[in-house]
Amino acid sequence: MIIDSHCHLHDPAFADLRETLRRSLTHDVWGAVAVGCDAETNIQTLAAAAAAPKAVWACLGFHPDRTRLTDDDLERVEEQIAAHHSRIVGIGEIGLPWYSLERVPDPTAIMARGRDRLGRLLDLAARWDLPVALHAPHGAAADALEALKRHRIERAVFHWHKAPAEVTHAIVDAGFFVSVTADIVSRERDREMVMGVPLEALLVESDGPWKYGGEFEGTDSGPWLASRVAEEVAKLKGLPVEDAMFQLSTNTCRLFDLIWV
């Protein structure tokens, strides 16, 4: 059995939560850490966790690549975190802008704004002792690692991690987690990343409803993919699937302080 460490259950693709969880269970996935992107999706994420408290754990987030989000939107999310800190398992997805920088007229200003916003959210994570689920791909990863250290954050995962090997090593050395998606099945970059880090520093996720290519072409994405990701991790690490799944689930429970049942 395995837990999906990062899924957007607020998405309309998962409107039928009961069916989503049933389908996941048939794939040995017994739950998901659900992340939000803004105030609206955070409300839906809280509702999902309330509807299935034994299978869905909520994180409240503010997606850094959604450049339309305003400072008022950020304040709403900060208020949500303050109001719900005792019933959420983390803050996410938060992080630094990267993909959106190609589309904006002034990427330097957007990055500076992103750093400032991340700092505010990390302060809340430190205040409530909550782990963070980070979106900080490629060139943003090193910056995000510095921010974690500056704000004295002790628990974090770099979700769908992609960064130069030396940055990945620095992240793992600092005691943080990195996570992989279904892209591990077909993408050499992700396979090398997994080979280069200890199993104890790895998480698996679907990032559903994100759709994947290769063997997943044309199939729905959701928490049920997490067991396929774990299976591929096991193969790369030369371990029995059950052993890899146990360690990966333990990692997710450690990061988000979930009760192992």
Of 9 and 234, CB closest to Zn ion = 9
Min dist CB 13 to Zn ion, Å, is 13
Min dist CB 76 to Zn ion, Å, is 19
Report the C-alpha gap between 197 and 32 in whole angstroms. 23
Number of other CB atoms surrounding residue 1 within 10 Å: 16
Evaluate whether 147 touches 115 at the Cβ level (below 8 Å): yes
Of 156 and 234, CB closest to Zn ion = 156
Closest residue to bound Zn ion by CB:
207
Cβ density class 68-93: b for 16+ within 10 Å, e for less = ebeeebbebbbebbeebbeebbbbbb
Min dist CB 233 to Zn ion, Å, is 19
Residues numbered 88 to 107 that lie near Zn ion (CB under 5 A) are 93
Residues numbered 186 to 225 that lie near Zn ion (CB under 5 A) are 207
Cis preceding linkage at 19, omega within 30: no
Min dist CB 7 to Zn ion, Å, is 8
Of 20 and 234, CB closest to Zn ion = 20
Of 89 and 234, CB closest to Zn ion = 89
128 CA to centre of own chain: 19
Instruction: Look up tokens 């996935």; give the residue.
Output: 29
Which chain residues interact with Zn ion by CB under 5 A?
Answer: 93, 207
